[in-house]
A and B are shown apart, each in its own frame.
Chain A
């Protein structure tokens, strides 16, 4: 593990870069995914259609192609943002489709009687959702959304190959290819970095799950 210890500052900066990348993508995909889930269960046909179309399109496209579209395609339309921003956008857009389906599965766990009761006392759709359905759904949503977020953290390594620069993945390329250090320890160091990221996320989710647990 000599090469890792010798370049621990490089690994640390790469870890931080990957952490912020994953954090932005997590926040963005949770917000967008929740919005999409609301669209998919809403009584408005246009919104339902939009939600379904979005999930169908993005969930069935390989992540690499989504990222290629953002990093190589979007700039040719005259929209020039940094590759970092574009890669985060790509991760958000892709992951949101999975978050949407996880949230929708949670909504489906709430007995339909709950929604009917809410409607019966005169709550409009928005209030039915925010006051009755979602608070109950969230409990069931935490584990599947956690899976999606952890998968996204690992997927963020793909963004490293998209000219983001400075993340854990490019640390590997720098040390192993350019400086010719032995590959096995360098790769192991990178894997440990991603593992710390994913385990931290899993820990936060476990805490969240415990807090949300309600005796039924």
Chain B
């Protein structure tokens, strides 16, 4: 009884933490941050291209997430840090722009296309899934990373090792955000619809997992790694990613030359080891993540 109670107290504390620290935790220490790329000032570009324009100006405006641990999360000085940021800085450096000369614009999911179409930003690197609906309005370079839906459980859970285990264990409940795509995706793996528990936010799901109301939480691995990082070892990721969400870099629709330049730069980034280094310094610090290899770039159209 005593141990149960202390566990309950710990659970409450963690739940409160998870509720209050919504998207807060998982600070990346400065020591591990990737070395800032040095700007390639010798780079020259054909006149009239976007690259020449940026290179001459010596400044660039980049949209990224400010609330996504490991990819783009603002630090106390309101400068974003993470894998997306490092990728963006590498591209900026290849254009001859120093990291200090980059203007960062917060780019929430719903605003990303508009930022590009309105010309508010030169490019968007913001956990930006490539899909056909978005291609109607913008062009994607990349992908530079493939995220996917995954499952998070309590660290001591041995029953669930992947989505397939949900149908075999109808007593196991899984939490996701109300009306989200991951919530719809997981339905096909359930033996009973009541296995899916939906809440308004992922921190609510984490609190439910902490208190034992649900046994698993599912959404994109990128969000889950942030929650695992905040949980102080209470949660873990299990199984493989069972959907594919290729992350691209959004630019003005039809700018093929810029798209090709970004794809070449990403390839260089992978070849010279900066890609792996950036990953290890950011999202790679979270347990349960593997170093990705640069996916093959899509054709620029």
**Chain A: residues with CB nearer than 8 A to chain B?**
71-73, 75-78, 80, 82-83, 161-163, 165-166, 170, 173-174, 176-179
A161 in contact with B12 (CB, 8 Å): no
A165 in contact with B200 (CB, 8 Å): no
In the bound complex, what is the Cα–Cα distance between A82 and B175 (angstroms)?
13
Do A165 and B211 contact each other (CB < 8 Å), given the known contacts A78-B8, A177-B180, A178-B184?
no
A76 in contact with B181 (CB, 8 Å): no
In the bound complex, what is the Cα–Cα distance between A178 and B11 (angstroms)?
31
A77 in contact with B8 (CB, 8 Å): yes
In the bound complex, what is the Cα–Cα distance between A76 and B183 (angstroms)?
25
One of B84-92, B191-199, B241-249, B278-286 contacting the partner:
B191-199
Q: Chain A nearest CB: distance from B16 CB in Å?
A: 9
A75 in contact with B5 (CB, 8 Å): no
Query: Which residue in chain B gives the minimum CB-CB distance to A81?
Result: B213
Listed from nearest, the 6 A-B pairs whose CB atoms lie closest are A177-B179, A75-B211, A173-B179, A173-B178, A76-B12, A76-B11
In the bound complex, what is the Cα–Cα distance between A176 and B199 (angstroms)?
15
Chain A residues near B7 (CB, 8 Å)? 78
Chain A residues near B251 (CB, 8 Å)? none
Contact residues of B between 163 and 216, Cβ < 8 Å to A? 175, 178-181, 183-184, 193-194, 196-200, 204, 207-208, 210-213
A161 in contact with B212 (CB, 8 Å): no
Partner of B207, one of A72, A80, A165: A72
Selected A-B contacts with CB under 8 Å, 15 pairs: A72-B208, A75-B11, A78-B5, A78-B8, A83-B213, A161-B200, A163-B208, A163-B213, A170-B178, A173-B179, A174-B178, A174-B179, A177-B178, A177-B179, A178-B179
A78 in contact with B200 (CB, 8 Å): no
In the bound complex, what is the Cα–Cα distance between A162 and B4 (angstroms)?
25
Query: Which residue in chain A gives the minimum CB-CB distance to B10?
Result: A76
B15 in contact with A76 (CB, 8 Å): yes
In the bound complex, what is the Cα–Cα distance between A173 and B178 (angstroms)?
6
In the bound complex, what is the Cα–Cα distance between A75 and B12 (angstroms)?
9
Query: Which residue in chain B gives the minimum CB-CB distance to A84?
Result: B194
Q: Chain A nearest CB: distance from B132 CB in Å?
A: 14
B213 in contact with A80 (CB, 8 Å): yes
